Amino acid sequence: MTRLYDSRKRILVTGGAGFLGSHLVDRLLEQGHEVICLDNLFTGTKRNIDHLHNHPRFEFMRHDVTFPLYVEVDEIYNLACPASPVHYQHDPVQTTKTSVHGAINMLGLAKRLKCKIFHASTSEVYGDPHVHPQTEDYWGHVNPIGPRSCYDEGKRCAETLFFDYHRQHDLQIKVVRIFNTYGPRMHHADGRVVSNFIVQALRGEDITIYGDGSQTRSFCYVDDLVEGFLRMTASGPEITGPINIGNPGEFTIGELAEKVLAKTDTKSKVVYHDLPQDDPKQRRPDITRANTHLDWEPKVPLDEGLERTIAYFRKILPELELV
């Protein structure tokens, strides 16, 4: 495997037991680094990192990023925050604290250590966009007081903090905006559309579409996303971001439901419910910057990624039913 780093580093990954974090931890270990995986296990799970229990360069630390942390590392990846509406709306005040206080604590740590820090932001900073596809120059259309605001505005504030630390303290930052990502290790009850549809179909339940199914999303397979993370962190100091990381292929929610139904061979039917407040109607990244500055674009087509994800849920669902 091609190494993106010249030498071994000690790397902190916050949210490292989560869906994205655990895949990132795997890649960093494969590259020969030492990894501290930090997670409070609110949405992350030890299942995602069980295979690393005896790894000599892996360390798990249960900690909440809203509290200060004192460790010695060479690099930080800040991924800690619940990312699905079901989870981030469960405790919206804590969600905002995780984005804002967590960013302050990790930036403070990076400042003390004089190390590079990567931040996983989100396409939700664009809100329900009036510009399509979304470029990094677009400032967004976000409701500051709605049920999704704890996440959307928390992530926007975190970006502000990162760029202020960069300007004020000359901190080396890397900020990416993640668009819809899917793959193995998604939480089975996170309320996100891909996991929702797959779990419902495998259980023979009705597939629930909110709205009429015409709203669009762009789905990026997790391996592609993590490759984007690594390329961003390995880029030169002049590349701070924000940079969109996602798949520009656009599908309606109705089309996604049809694909899941066909691939699971289920007898499930599609049912429709009202669209939640502030749910974006369109979402597709412009990835020109990622392609230009990182030589990155997604490789895994939706059909292939869905098959891998369905295989994962086929394996774990029987185990979850026993818990």
Burial of 312 (0-12, 13-18, 19+ CB in 10 A): middle
Residue/partner pairs of 144-148 with CB below 8 Å, 24 or more apart: 146/277, 146/278, 147/89, 147/92, 147/276, 147/277, 147/278, 148/85, 148/89, 148/124, 148/277, 148/278, 148/279
- What are residue 122's phi and psi, to 5 degrees? -150, 155
Parallel/antiparallel/unpaired status of strands 75-78 and 116-122: parallel
Length of the chain: 323
CA distance 232 to 226: 10
Question: Which residue in the list 151, 165, 182, 221 is annotated as catalytic?
Answer: 151
151 is catalytic: yes
Identify the CA nearest to 207 among candidates 264, 147, 135, 161. 264
Token pair for 74: 């060479």
What burial letters (b/e) apply to 193-204, b meaning 16+ CB within 10 Å?
bbbbbbbbbbee
* 3-state secondary structure at position 77: strand
Q: Is 211 left (phi over 0), alpha (psi -120 to 50) or beta?
A: left
- Provide the β-strand partners of residue 61: 38
Token pair for 206: 């009705």
Active site residues: 151
